[in-house]
Chain A
Amino acid sequence: MAERVPAVSLRGITKTFGSTVANKNVDLDIYRGEILALLGENGSGKTTLLNMLSGIYYPDAGQIFIDGQEVTIRSPKEAFDYGIGMIHQHFKLVDVMTATENIILGLKDKGKLDLKGASAKIREICEKYGFQIDPDQKIYEMSVSQKQTVEIVKVLYRGADILILDEPTAVLTPQETDKLFAVLRNMREAGKTVVIITHKLHEVQDISDRVVVFRKGEYIGQMITKETNPQKMTDMMVGHAVTLNIERPDPVDPKPRIQIEGLTVRSEEGIVKLDDVSFTANSGEILGIAGISGSGQKELLEAVAGLQKVEAGHVYYVEDDGTKEELIGKDPLEIQKMGVALSFVPEDRLGMGLVGNMDLSDNMMLRSFREGHSVFTDRKHPHDLAEHVREELEVNTPGLSTPVRRLSGGNVQKVLVGREIASAPKVLLTAYAVRGLDINSSYMIYSLLNKQKQSGVAVIYVGEDLDVLLELADRIVVLCGGKVSGIVEGRGADKNEVGLMMTKLGGGSDLA
């Protein structure tokens, strides 16, 4: 393999953002007809590197060679001219336009704009690879996986032969992932090059021919996938061995704390998001919520926290002595005062929960600023708390007065989770608490949640990684298309069984 001329060679690539070094002197070769996996912890610079290849960023130093020729890639358009197409984690689609309009966007074909012809060509591509999208549908009416399909079709439509996918499976069901991988293999057969960025070791094993590992912005090493194993890859990725086992202490004196009965929620467009959902979350246990993305997790948590309009049903907060109090109809502030903390980490981490332009201390104040009778805010305690969270959770920041917008995703998440836990809640709701976090930080979050559980908090944990849920949660509620398709004990639960429940009602992903 080393004898061939690489399709793409990166030499000595360096990129800094302000004082953060995202890539440091990186060398990388990509060969035609291979599927290459880029593996690395969060913030290790994988996405930044490939963004430079696709023209989103421009390197501070270094060279890019394509088929042995040195090139400069100044814009995504130039990347396309070299046959490089990237599918980003956050889709680059125009919401109010149709799939066809999005796919032909930017193409400089001769002659009049021919939407019908383009639609036909798109249908052809879809048929060839087995994609299911309607070219005339508006993007804002589509589910996440449909949007991803549009992105992939867009790249194929342009005839790209180097395809870069940034964590493509994060939003897919296992079945959709399989389909995607099948397509990628077809493309490899056709001599195309696929680069896939991922955190998930089993995906690396499943799909890639070769894996390249990054750590802290630097290239660490490469391996032929067939000749390696998860332990080796993990070691390279984190630099030292980590235990793969997640701790799961026994529940502490579980008593009903949050009781949900017949909860039904409709979106503003009238689509049913939660359909007659009932379950109970106990104090002193971690209740996992499993489900493919968009099955109603967001709405469920928001309904409990008072952020979501509810059509029918009840959410009760149960006191230690058994008295129940209805939460529906209360505003977020009242619910918060009762000890329900929502640590909701949305896809856009800064969109909710933190204020990007404020510094760490001011963000700590978000929960507590109302305390005291003074009309003025108390800045001392939030400052101390910020200092505490920074030390405790090893938040990597230049200083407490740095706007959180400037921190990396994982650090932002630590700040958010750290603050929610600091408010000493009775109920802790977390969603995707470890999304995008590296292994070390993820374990830190797991142990924090366990600590909360052991001190009698009812923890509701919405997760996307089934393996983690199975190891962490005491009980798991499985959501599918807004319905509860099963509740299982975490200990001894069978992964396949839960996976099946997640897709039981069929077509669940389309409800996203």
Chain B
Amino acid sequence: MHKKPKEPLIHMTKRDLVPVKNAIAIRAAAILLALVVCGVITALATGLNPIEVYITMFSGAFGTSRRIWIMGKEIAILLCISLALTPAFRMRFWNLGGEGQILIGALGTASCLILLGDRLPNAVLIPVSLLAAVLCGAVWALIPAVCKARWNTNETLFTLMMNYVATQLVAYFVIVWEVPKGSGKIGIINQNTEAGWLPVVFGNRYLLNILIVAVLTICMHIYLMYSKHGYEITVVGESEATARYIGIKVSRIIIRTLILSGAVCGLTGYLLVAGSDHTLTTTLAGGQGFTAVLVAWLAKFNPLKMVFSSFLLIFLSRGAGEISTIFGLNKSFGDILTGIILFFIIGSEFFINYKLHFRGHESKGGKR
């Protein structure tokens, strides 16, 4: 065979299903590579050698038992939001409104704590404020869901806009309930009475939050993977036409699933107000409604795998936070590192789904 004129340099084909082992190896390699890049960048910014960077990050995350607890609490919250968004995502409903739904849930809780704090005993106040949070979150998700179901309104943008409406609503109430007047802040709600606060179990303030989310993770996993509802969600997500054809009422599923999604976001808001922060601010959710989208996606919308992806992201932000504290850098440093790691993981998916063929190697050769 004579020389061929010009075969493309790189040519790619879609892979068959990759063995789980390889997929994990590819992702692990991506994370490692990303950590190396992050280490180098940090070293450049701080003058620290990369090994010390990692040591500092580890100590930031695991250094003391207090830090471990804080990390556990943060993982719980992020995981909880991711769990909330997942049913919607599995239905291909891009609920980017986590922020807003959390804030509204938090608003519901705070209003109960503030208005009813001195009138109801805790045994009544806790369930009432929980219910308020869940209802508020559900309603906030319900509005875009109804429009999506009826008119196929673009949910990505709708939920996004709802975030800012929620933020302003919270801003309004923060001023209405500000303590002291003119401070523009609510401060710690019921600081003296601790009315409506989630109880401290086994002597730890964060343990109850963590336990609640752990149970929720398992429930959500079972719901999505094994229940009829979960199956319906998958069918609607994969093919609406098919869903209609087998008699699934698509709009009903959309609305039902988004009520669930919003309700769990509301629950997160409750955990934030009654369980950990005990206050209400417009930045309560702190962008985690968006981070959770990434957590859920990294785990391929599988609730159990989200434990790992949320761990990864929280570890990064805690570790980077430590670095920025020690070196007097801006705390946004963590966001940069998180971004870099995400880019690597996002990019690595390609090598799981596609195979590359290089010129010169006959079809067998191919990178990872």
Interface residue ranges, A against B (CB under 8 Å): 16-19, 58, 60-61, 63, 70-72, 74, 305-307, 331-336, 342, 344, 350-358, 362, 365-367, 369-370, 374-377, 406
Contact = CB atoms under 8 A, between A and B. Distances in A.
Q: Which A-B residue pairs are the 7 nearest by beta carbons? A: A333-B247, A18-B16, A332-B247, A352-B241, A355-B238, A60-B363, A366-B246
B226 to A, nearest CB: 5
A365 B234 CA distance: 12
B249 interface: yes
Contacts of B283: none
A70 B245 contact: no
A355 B235 contact: yes
B362 A376 contact: no
B8 A72 contact: yes
Interface residues of B, number: 31
Given A72-B8, A369-B231, 16 more contacts: A58-B11, A71-B5, A72-B7, A305-B245, A331-B247, A335-B247, A344-B245, A350-B239, A353-B242, A355-B239, A355-B242, A366-B242, A367-B246, A369-B232, A375-B228, A377-B231
Contact of A377 (B7, B228, B246): B228
Q: Is the interface of B mostly helix, strand, loop or mixed?
A: mixed
Contact of A366 (B4, B5, B7, B235): B235
Contacts of B367: none
B16 to A, nearest CB: 4
A72 B4 contact: yes
A17 B14 contact: yes
A331 B249 contact: yes
A307 B245 contact: yes
Contact of B245 (A61, A332, A334): A332
A406 B13 CA distance: 14
Contact of A375 (B4, B13, B229, B239): B229
A342 B231 contact: no
A63 B362 CA distance: 14
Interface string B1-41: 00011111001011110000000000000000000000000
Given A18-B14, A356-B239, A357-B238, A375 B227 contact: yes
A261 to B, nearest CB: 24
B368 interface: no
Given A61-B362, A366-B246, A351 B238 contact: no
B149 to A, nearest CB: 15
Contacts, number: 87
Interface in B175-217: none
Given A332-B247, A353-B245, A358-B238, A70 B4 contact: yes
Interface of B: 4-8, 11, 13-16, 226-232, 234-235, 238-239, 241-242, 244-249, 362-363
B242 A354 contact: yes
Contacts of B363: 16, 60-61
A27 to B, nearest CB: 15
Nearest to A401: B17
A438 B231 CA distance: 33
A352 B245 contact: yes
B188 to A, nearest CB: 41
Contacts of B227: 375-377
Contacts of B4: 63, 70, 72
A369 to B, nearest CB: 5
B274 to A, nearest CB: 29
Contacts of A63: 4
Contacts of B246: 332, 336, 366-367
Contacts of A377: 226-228, 230-231
Contacts of B5: 70-72
A342 B4 CA distance: 53
Contacts of A72: 4-8
A131 B241 CA distance: 35
5 contacts: A72-B4, A332-B246, A336-B246, A354-B242, A374-B228
Contacts of A16: 363
B238 to A, nearest CB: 4
Contacts of B16: 18-19, 406
A374 B226 CA distance: 11
A376 B245 contact: no
Nearest to B230: A377
